[in-house]
Chain A
Amino acid sequence: MSGDKLPAWAGPSATAALFALSWECLGRWQTYPAHLFPPPSEAARALADMWASGELLRDAAASGRRWFSGLLLGNLLGLALGVLTGSIPWARRSVGLLLNFLRTIPFLLLVPFAMLWFGLGELEKIAITAWGAAFPVWLNVQTGIVGVEQEYVWAARCLGASGLRLVWEVHLKRCLAYLVAGTRLSIATGTFALVAAEMSGAFEGLGFRVFYSYQMFQTDRMMAGVLLIAFLGLTFDRVFVESVRRLLPWSRKVADEL
């Protein structure tokens, strides 16, 4: 195989194309009720309609605002909690136990509670997104801080670092790789949470659009929405990984494994 002659994206693209093609064929040949699971061409057409009417941009903007705010908030929260439970053993036992318990609650079940506490509106959706984003970040930062090699701590102390300075210079910087891994995960979990949140109490947004299309029996739009959400998620993930690779060159080895 002339594997080294082909660019890196050739393999994945070919696989995706093959998958899309077989899906299209199965749909057209009516091997199953196509209107229940529209083939890519239908979804593409629906996407074009949604774009032309301007609603795609509005939905994407609405979801995007919530997404960015929620992810930022969630990452900061996760970082703070991770530093707390990572640095202080009794906090790890008490707060950590609580967080592990909360972590298992499915997002969908959380939405009614969030509506109860925050009422309807952007804050509720941002809160749910932040919730989804915080947990992977918290867990990763905790692991990073707990696992800081003793020798780095010793070396830093011999060079004059102590207290908060030490935490900043060594613990946080060391666990930056873990934080990056956590943030990467938070992109996915935050998206799941946001979509769950948008299914009630919203009137615009990509998650809302999928739900709305379901109510209207417009399965092609549902499919378009789902594919778009997945595609955007993948894009952000890739952008993030590449940025990390550029901004933190020493973590190149870690980034390559992502």
Chain B
Amino acid sequence: MRLFALAVTICVVRASPQAAETTKLIYALPASVPAAVAYVAIDREFFKQEGLEVEPKMFSSGRQALQALLAGQAQIQSVSETPVVHAIVQGNKLATIATIARHGEAKLIARKDRGIFKPGDLRGRKIATLPGTNSDYFMYRLLKRHGIKPEEVKIANMSPPEMVVAYAKGDIDGYFAWEPHIYYGRRYHGERSTVFPPAGLYEGRVTVNMAPDFLAARPEAARRVIRALLKARDFMGRHPDEAARIVASRLAMDAKVLRDLMRENVYAVELDGGLPRLMTEVGAWVLEQNRSDKPMPDFRRYIDATALMKERPSAVSLE
């Protein structure tokens, strides 16, 4: 993909923290519904109010947004926890300063009319997933829960937009992806499809990350970011319709559809004990997938609660 070429060229550039005080900060963001708090913060200029000039950069997937952070092209970044775990396992360094949502956006959509009524019916069917993503992790959890071995399912790898096309064409019987790609799939085969939410099996988190060097050099920047995000969350609570409008416009989606999708997530700026637990579970999956004998990282060492502690201690409940 083009991002691979971009990644290679970016990699040669040294990642260095921005030394100057008033330089622009780049916030790398995925196009996904649970990142709503960040979108609201940007749109309502809460960062500016906190004295930070933040420029958003949208990426079609969180994985790519994370790449931007690792390569030094962005200073702040948001992504679901799965790519973060991958990156840490492979030896990358980053610091999670908060989570802004608990999401249920990873789902499975499959063709009822092809005999898929329950997860067990996936055996022998053609299913698509994007490796390394939160929906890929959900697939792992779902298959494991129902005693299905990966070899029993024909798994094709592609990006969510391609999944929608393949699903519409009938080349695949179902796919694991995050919203709104599930919604797009329903548009083609609505009555013929079943949607399996992750409820109970997997609750993801949208993380906010920064590079450790940058964080060490400018701790006050982290605090300002936290403050802006907290303001955005409060705003969302008071003006839900306006918040939905903001997110809908940023994702170029229909506002009504978006309202429904937004209800599937819990928006909160926090750092709770569930995060390191989740990351460890995902970490076990990553190590198993890579057949790696690397040690399991201590994910708590990658979480930096300093800024959030200072701004809203009640939001921190790490053990």
Contact = CB atoms under 8 A, between A and B. Distances in A.
User: Interface extent on B, as a size class?
Assistant: 35 or more
Most B-side CB within 10 Å, residue of A108, A202, A217 = A217
A51 interface: no
Nearest to B84: A217
Given A32-B11, A120-B171, A202-B157, A211 B4 contact: yes
Binding site secondary structure of chain B: mixed
B171 A108 contact: no
B2 A218 contact: no
B165 A37 contact: no
Interface string A205-234: 000101110111111001000000000000
B93 to A, nearest CB: 9
B11 A217 contact: no
A217 B82 CA distance: 11
Contacts of A212: 131, 157
B148 interface: no
User: Interface extent on A, as a size class?
Assistant: 20 to 34
B12 interface: yes
Contacts of A216: 86, 90, 131-132, 286, 289-290
A201 B131 CA distance: 12
Interface in B112-135: 126, 130-133
A199 interface: yes
Nearest to B9: A37
B157 A217 contact: no
B172 interface: yes
Interface stretch (A111-119, A140-148, A239-247): A111-119
B162 A35 contact: no
Nearest to A36: B11
Interface in B73-100: 83, 86-87, 89-92
A199 B1 contact: yes
Contacts of B63: 215
Contacts of B13: 32
A200 B159 contact: yes
Contact of A115 (B89, B162, B291): B162
A104 B292 CA distance: 42
B92 A108 contact: no
B83 A217 contact: yes
A203 B182 CA distance: 22
Contact of B130 (A115, A208, A215): A215
